[in-house]
Amino acid sequence: MKHISRKLLGAAAVLSLLAGPVAAAEKAEVLHWWTSGGESAAVAVFADQFNAAGGEWVDAAIAGGEAARAAGINRIVGGNPPTAMQFNTGKQFEDLVAQGLLSNLDTVAAADGWDKFLSPVLIKAVSRDGHFYAVPVNIHSNNWLWYNTALLEANGITPPTTWDELFAAMDKLKAAGVIPMAQSGDAWTQVLLFNDVLLGVGGRDLFLKVFQDGDVDAIKSADFLKVAQTFGKLREYGDAGQQGRQWNQATGLVVTGKAGFNFMGDWAKGEVLAAGLTPGKEVGCTPGLGHQVYWIGGDVFVFPKTDNADAQKAQALLAHTMLTPETQVAFNAKKGSVPVRGDVDTSKLDACAQAGLKLLATPDASVPGSDFLQTPDVLGSLQDVIGQFWTTPSQTPEELQTKIADIFAAAK
């Protein structure tokens, strides 16, 4: 008898779950928030792969993560769920699990051997009480500094490696009449920027003391005050047009040479690629200014419970398809992230991805994102006070420090 590989056995087991001819396309209404140019190109990979596997992708895109999550949760609670729904990797879907509103994915996970190719960090992130409840589709790092290389060269600026060098570079751009730092008006991007400063100025240990340990004394420390002061100084380098600007529009200012710098996650590469440019070339990338630490984030899809047999088949097929090696490489190449599978060839990913992968492989050079470590309530409160600070120049770093300490003290 010839040896049959584990991979073939897993694929056969998943196909058996579908319990029907491939010719009968299984419709899957997929709710997500990927609507920018780069994001649309990436999600099209999922749609094409799912359709090629015998499914029928029904796109249900809603711009904005908060709006999409709210709409999806309302539909699930209201008894009209989509087939699949996007969340960020972390604690966002815990309430749905606790209320018994999500299907567990144990059968697909066992058939495809998720435990063989997902890292322990990701397994923990998508599991609750020993059961899988979400499909992780990518690994993002949120704390990248992007810059227009031609613009920097034209102004005699070497790409900064320290925060002091960044401020000096932005002063030069400001004097030249160029937007030093492109910023979005969305509150989540202001929180992202704050966390970039927390990691880059405060370092990995301080980040973990805050988000993992909820250490109020650490938040009241001089090191944290320096983080708040650096974040406050950055307010001087945005422009009046940031209010109402979306994250991809802020990235676009760097791509088109209208702004020098932008702090954004590695999904910004999707916008660089959509513009026909090369990440790491025309648009440079630094994987964490100051302390280089890979901030592990990402996206997952959950599958609401349903009694509809066809929907169950579509869910099984979609969960399987999203994690095939071919889909993982193609999707992440366009999304700007890196694959969740540790067994795929990443050698052809761009230079920025290679820098991120190097950090991921380095001991103590990564942290789980804040979504992994804190509840949506705590993160929502942080977003409120950080957003208010960013848009209120009269607020002092000391006031911000006190408000953040109060949030974590109340959460204990």
Walk me through the domains of the chain, giving residue ranges and CATH numbers: 6-139+298-352 (3.40.190.10), 141-296+356-411 (3.40.190.10)
Coil, strand, or helix at residue 86? Answer: strand
Distance CA 208, CA 345 (A): 31
Left if phi > 0, otherwise alpha if psi is -120 to 50, otherwise beta: which for 284? Answer: beta
Please give the single-letter amino acid code of residue 382.
Answer: L
pTM over 0.75: yes
Chain centroid to Cα 225, Å, comes to 27
- Identify the DSSP state of 317: H
Distance CA 350, CA 280 (A): 8
Please give the single-letter amino acid code of residue 20.
Answer: G
Closest CA to 12 of 112, 84, 101: 112
DSSP per position, 391-407: T-TTS-HHHHHHHHHHH
Closest CA to 61 of 97, 89, 37: 37
- Residue 24: predicted pLDDT: 52
Q: Which residue has the tokens 């059961």?
A: 131
Q: CB of 37 within 8 A of CB of 319?
A: no
Counting Cβ atoms within 10 Å, is residue 68 exposed (0-12), middle (13-18) or buried (19+)?
buried
Q: Which residue has the tokens 């249900």?
A: 60
| Greatest CA separation for the chain | 77
161: which 2 tokens? Answer: 């490696």
- Residue 412: predicted pLDDT: 84
- Specify the length of the chain in residues: 412
Counting Cβ atoms within 10 Å, is residue 396 exposed (0-12), middle (13-18) or buried (19+)?
middle
Coil, strand, or helix at residue 59? Answer: strand
- Residue 41: predicted pLDDT: 94
Q: CB of 341 within 8 A of CB of 138?
A: no
- Residue 26: predicted pLDDT: 87
Which sign does the torsion angle of CA 355, 358, 363, 369 carry? positive
Per-residue pLDDT tens listing for the chain (412 residues) = 333 333 333 443 444 444 444 445 689 999 999 999 999 999 999 999 999 999 999 999 999 999 999 999 999 999 999 999 999 999 999 999 999 999 999 999 999 999 999 999 899 999 999 999 999 999 999 999 999 999 999 999 999 999 999 999 999 999 999 999 999 999 999 999 999 999 999 999 999 999 999 999 999 999 999 999 999 999 999 999 999 999 999 999 999 999 999 999 999 998 999 999 999 999 999 999 999 999 999 999 999 999 999 999 999 999 999 999 999 999 999 999 999 998 999 998 999 999 999 999 999 999 999 999 999 999 999 999 999 999 999 999 999 999 999 999 999 8
Which value, to the nearest 10 degrees, does the dihedral of the CA atoms of residues 228, 230, 236, 240 take?
-60
Q: Which residues have C-beta within 8 Å of that of residue 412, sequence separation ≥ 6?
A: 214, 216
Counting Cβ atoms within 10 Å, is residue 345 exposed (0-12), middle (13-18) or buried (19+)?
exposed
Q: CB of 368 within 8 A of CB of 123?
A: no
Distance CA 19, CA 32 (A): 27
Distance CA 37, CA 64 (A): 14
Q: CB of 227 within 8 A of CB of 401?
A: no
Q: CB of 62 within 8 A of CB of 68?
A: yes
